[in-house]
Structure 1
Amino acid sequence: MLLMNTDLTADTRPSVACVSGRRVVDVLSRLDVRSVLLDNPTPLDLACQVDVPLDVDLDDWDAAEAALRWLHAGRPLDAVFSVYDAHLPLASYLAARLGTRGLDLQAALACHDKIRMRMVLTSGGVRVPDHLPAADPADAAAAAQRLGMPAVPVVVKKATGSGGRGSMLCRNPEDVARAVELFGPGALLVERAVEGPEYAVQSITSDGRTEVVGILAQHVGPGPRQAETGYDFPSGLGPERESEVASFVTRALAVLGFDHAVSHTQVRLTADGPVLINVAARPPGGQLCAATERVSGIDLTRAAAEIALGMPVTRGTPTATRVLYRCVTSENPGTAWYDLDGIDAPAVTLDVEPGDSVRSVDDPDGGSYGRIVVYGDDPAELESRYRAIFESLRLHVEPDHQQVMLP
């Protein structure tokens, strides 16, 4: 399906193509731009919100280029971008092929492939965990042994895609074998586990200049998946350590070749300094975008579109100085029950309906199934509000009636 305005010469707005983008279509509709959306297929509701909905096989890069090049010839595009991990390489490829603005292709490919990312960062002198690639998953056990297992734990990760669900902490050879079975075929990365607190760093990069807009302390749960269980802003770091983390991330993004993008970077802070765990060339997931906007005034999804087009990033007024963000998790598998009556709806996001099954937080396929996020200026007040919301939800998991876990 391809719909387009035939009077192209009358439209002088900047023109941008987004590769898939439910999260960004609303932003584009508020900007004074001509929007092209590539998807397979394009959801009908989104097709009605953009200027040109384009159905194309996103796994067929030649077909995507041919379709976009035809549009580009009739009405030149100014930028191509995406806010989804899986489509970042394609968006950068299309931008490079058409000669428009977009995230540097080498940076996009490095963010897509964790092995490539570590090679680039290591060559640029940026500290990453000690690691070994396992192009054949059968080599993962030998890689873990070379890295010091069983004396030290390792983390086995899918080399591409999957985010946190493609990562597993392994303390023994049996854990490694389980990770290999769980992740299936495809290259793996095996790295020595890094001890130290973790931080989530949100930043914007335009024309190669990076600005860190927020650093949050990140909490992780027990078990092999080390699922994210919450965030705090401010980070709790002093000004000197926070500046050290910001400078470290800025340098890492420069080494990766970031030029036009927003990013979500995970860093562990060890006794010897920061260690980079991962870089995602997109806005963060969950409620982190909203949390970042509340404390910085910057909507990272809107910023991604503005940076792609070379526009100034819109900066609003921060409306809170603190964030208490907690994920809803369970210590045991079972059936989740809760009651939303009388709950402050904006503070709660739940991904399951009452009666749905949930896995435990320490299950390799488990994690969180909701979020409670409160904002304000007083730490004691935030904690009190969070507790009141949590207790009002009456969250519990059957059949063992184990209360959901509080971070």
Structure 2
Amino acid sequence: MPEYVLVGYSADLLRILDGFLAPDSVLVVDEPEVLATRGARDRTSEIACFADVIPAPVQDGAAHRLPDLVAPPPGTRAVLPGNDYGVVAAAVLADAWGLPGAGTEAARVFRDKRRQRRLADDAGIPQPAWREVADAAEAAQFAAGCPHGFVLKPATLQSSEGVQLLDPGADIEAAWRHTTARNATGGTMRIDAGPLAYLAERRLTGPEFSAELLMREGVPLFFNATAKRLLGGVYPVEMGHVVPAPAGDGVDTVLRESMMALARAAGFRTGIMHGEWIVEGGVPHLVECAARLPGDQIHRLIELAYGWSLLENWFVVMTGAAPARVPEEPAGAAIRFLDAPHGRVTSLTGLDAARSVSGVSDVNVAVDVGSLVEPIRSSWERSGFVIATGPDGEGAEAAARTASERIVITTRGAPRSAARDVMDDA
């Protein structure tokens, strides 16, 4: 009998859950269009924990209708968001069914970057100057007041889709066309529900981090700071993470305080918060925050570094129970994402050499000979990843870097290491 309702379909997440959940224990709720496009029933037939799907409107403004359309299955213990687009609907169902959750209003804050900006302004949480923009002219007007450049991004997408870091003098008309293109709609995870909203923000300078916070009824149970590596240039796609972030300058403490201030301001109750921060002038500035499991394998890095599963304990907390005790002295874990030149792959070498590096625990390549590699403009275009462990974050990152540099993906053009240079200021 299903015990968990997952709002937002993710075959990858279900396969991970299969490692610790009972057979037929997870019901998936998502948009009929998403379930059909992604072949949800066919792709999950071999996943034992998957019970069934419930087609229902869950995205954008439709979530409030869910309690009238979906009754709580007998024995349901928890409702959880499977991706960004299921955050509000999961909170709505949890509230309606009397189960632990983020709280509907808090969930709405963390699904819309405009709401986050207004909340942070009201709460006095440091963040960049910003405004909502409706066209390229408004973006250009805002850019005129940003001598060091600005950021243009959609307000409700994920995985860096449509986000651009623009220097002074950039072609704002061209940037606007890219950010608002119809392909920037969440791939196959999000329905095209009409026009999106867009933000222009002052460009921050400084090291970038994410912060993972597990809460139960407003009480913090686990906190981690993750150092980030970004692709250089216009598209701020994440190309690496280090857990825990190297200690120094009290970053861990100030990020914890910033995340708690954000949680209190939003009235967040139970679940995971995954915040992005840039430390400018020693002060964490809010980039954005999501109320769901962190992506980019960060939950795996946490498990490897701490010997403690964020994913499993999230499920425990969402039933109202207490999680396992967190080890006080973590080791280190790191991921490096792979890049390749645009074009058709003609050869792929170095995989065995990468796997032989001490500390490497996973080498995953998403392309093969004959694959078409697109330029990286969002997380979807990365060519794979390497995960490594070490005695601390720095040691793990060194191993992941060494391994990634041994992988060479050649396309029609010159060979190049699959580990493109990234911004290493975190």
What range describes the TM-score normalised by the shorter chain of this pair?
Answer: 0.7 to 0.9
> What is the CA distance between 1:366 and its match in structure 2?
7.9
Q: 1:28 to 1:316 in 2, by over 3 A?
A: farther
Q: Which moved more, 1:15-24 or 1:194-203?
A: 15-24
Show the counterpart of 2:150: 154
Of 166, 172, 197, which residue of structure 2 is paired with 1:176?
Answer: 172
> What is the CA distance between 1:34 and its match in structure 2?
4.9
Q: Which runs of 5+ in 1 are unaligned?
A: 6-13
Show the counterpart of 2:20: 30
Q: CA offsets, 1:250-303, max 9 Å, x none?
A: 211221221111122111111151101111111211221110111123322223
Q: CA offsets, 1:191-212, max 9 Å, x none?
A: 0001110112112111111244
> What is the CA distance between 1:82 and its match in structure 2?
0.9
Letter in 2 for 1:176: I
Contact 1:24 1:301 in 2 (8 A): no
Map 1:125-136 onto structure 2 (within 5 A): 125-135=124-134
> Given the alignment of the two structures, is residue 389 of structure 1 paired with residue 399 of structure 2, yes or no?
no
> What is the CA distance between 1:393 and its match in structure 2?
3.0
Q: 1:347 to 1:266 in 2, by over 3 A?
A: same
Show the counterpart of 1:358: 373
> What is the CA distance between 1:85 and its match in structure 2?
0.1
Distance, in Å, in 1 between the alignment partners of 2:417 and 2:19 is 43
> Given the alignment of the two structures, is residue 373 of structure 1 paired with residue 387 of structure 2, yes or no?
yes
> What is the CA distance between 1:166 and its match in structure 2?
2.8
Show the counterpart of 2:254: 244
Q: 1:359 to 1:366 in 2, by over 3 A?
A: farther
- Structure with a larger share of its residues in helix: 1
Q: Which moved more, 1:192-201 or 1:392-401?
A: 392-401
Contact 1:359 1:366 in 2 (8 A): no
Q: Which moved more, 1:253-262 or 1:38-47?
A: 38-47
Distance, in Å, in 1 between the alignment partners of 2:262 and 2:114 is 15
Letter in 2 for 1:168: Q
Q: CA offsets, 1:221-273, max 9 Å, x none?
A: 21111221212234233273321121111211221221111122111111151
SS at match of 2:277: strand
Q: 1:343 to 1:255 in 2, by over 3 A?
A: same
> Given the alignment of the two structures, is residue 194 of structure 1 paired with residue 204 of structure 2, yes or no?
yes
Contact 1:325 1:374 in 2 (8 A): yes
Q: 1:258 to 1:211 in 2, by over 3 A?
A: same
Distance, in Å, in 1 between the alignment partners of 2:414 and 2:139 is 36
Contact 1:129 1:276 in 2 (8 A): yes
Q: 1:139 to 1:231 in 2, by over 3 A?
A: same
Q: 1:381 to 1:44 in 2, by over 3 A?
A: same
SS at match of 1:302: helix
Q: 1:27 to 1:316 in 2, by over 3 A?
A: farther
Distance, in Å, in 2 between the alignment partners of 1:383 and 1:218 is 11
Q: Which moved more, 1:378-387 or 1:31-40?
A: 378-387
> Given the alignment of the two structures, is residue 216 of structure 1 paired with residue 226 of structure 2, yes or no?
yes
Letter in 2 for 1:158: P
SS at match of 2:215: strand
SS at match of 1:312: coil
Letter in 2 for 1:204: L
> Given the alignment of the two structures, is residue 335 of structure 1 paired with residue 331 of structure 2, yes or no?
no
Show the counterpart of 1:8: none
Distance, in Å, in 2 between the alignment partners of 1:328 and 1:187 is 31
Q: Which moved more, 1:248-257 or 1:108-117?
A: 248-257
TM-score (norm 2): 0.80
Map 1:295-314 onto structure 2 (within 5 A): 295-314=305-324
> What is the CA distance between 1:155 and its match in structure 2?
0.2
Letter in 2 for 1:167: V
Q: Which moved more, 1:18-27 or 1:210-219?
A: 18-27
Q: Which runs of 5+ in 2 are unaligned?
A: 181-194
Q: 1:248 to 1:44 in 2, by over 3 A?
A: same
> What is the CA distance between 1:219 and its match in structure 2?
1.3
Q: CA offsets, 1:370-398, max 9 Å, x none?
A: 21121021678656644653354333343
> What is the CA distance between 1:353 and its match in structure 2?
2.3
Q: 1:119 to 1:398 in 2, by over 3 A?
A: same
> Given the alignment of the two structures, is residue 322 of structure 1 paired with residue 346 of structure 2, yes or no?
no
Distance, in Å, in 2 between the alignment partners of 1:378 and 1:29 is 27
Contact 2:228 2:241 in 1 (8 A): yes
